[in-house]
Amino acid sequence: MNLLDIAKFNLEANQAEVQARVDLMKAYSDFNVRMMEAAKLQAEVAIEHFKLQLLRDAFNNYKRARSLAMKEEKRVARELDRVNLHGRKLPSLLLGETLPADDVSRSWIGLEYFVKTTDADTIGKLVSIKAPSSALHGAHFSKNRAPGTSCEDPPAGITHAWPLLQWARKKLYLPRIGTPPHTLLGKAIEVIGAGADRRRKAVEKELATAQKDLRAIEEKAWENLDITRIQPKTPPPAAK
């Protein structure tokens, strides 16, 4: 091989080496680009995963809060049902000897319910109603389960209406219409009824607050969805 051939060979070898280096640098550059794209994609996936976790946490918090709010709403609604039920039964005690025997106990329970749940002012007025001695006669009372049965005389030491009514309740007696105990019962029901109206309004207000809290939780859930930027097309429906 002469010098010209050797030079030509060396030149071709150098050119091949240069081309190999260029190809290697290009491949390395392409690799770096792909790695950067992969890193970018990984970061985007991490962000979406974080959003999803936020949404999952928000939904779990919403479920817990909504469950508690719904329980409270149902509790207050049941209490309002009791108030209305016992409120309807309360005046039936004034039917005296004409009240069906099966309704006697339930009607006394209605009166006791309001005495237990009423305010101190009502209790004060109730226990201050005095009972005259003329009211302490068994003939003034009726045992509706056994209409022909004579009723016992109330204890002689009773001086106020509420102890007299408690005694009658224990015996499942009712004051006969037009008698002194019946008049006392009417006064007691008037006082208790005023307290029952206040109780009803308080429970209705409590129910309205519970329903408002439930609606607020529904609205807060929508805000949490907005924070994560994962929004449905329409907000969740308001609680009924």
- For a pLDDT cut of 70, what percent of the chain falls above it? 88
What pLDDT is attached to residue 233? 44
Q: Which of 203, 237, 239 is nearest to 222 (CA)?
A: 237
Q: Are 154 and 136 in contact (CB under 8 A)?
A: yes
Q: Are residues 5 and 114 in the same domain?
A: no
Confidence of residue 227 (pLDDT cuts 50, 70, 90): low
Tokens representing 7 are 């030079």
What predicted TM-score, i.e. pTM, was given to this entire model?
0.65
Residue 28 included in any domain: yes
Distance between CA atoms of 102 and 100, rounded to whole angstroms?
6
Q: How far apart are the first and last CA of the chain?
A: 100
Q: Are 201 and 195 in contact (CB under 8 A)?
A: no
Number of domains in the chain: 2
**Residue 10 lies in domain:** 1-54
Give per-residue pLDDT as tens, 122-143: 999 999 999 999 999 999 999 9
Q: Are residues 191 and 115 in the same domain?
A: yes
Q: Are residues 106 and 2 in the same domain?
A: no
Q: Are residues 106 and 39 in the same domain?
A: no
Give per-residue pLDDT as tens, 29-75: 887 888 888 888 888 888 888 878 877 887 888 888 888 889 999 99
pLDDT at position 98 over 60 = yes
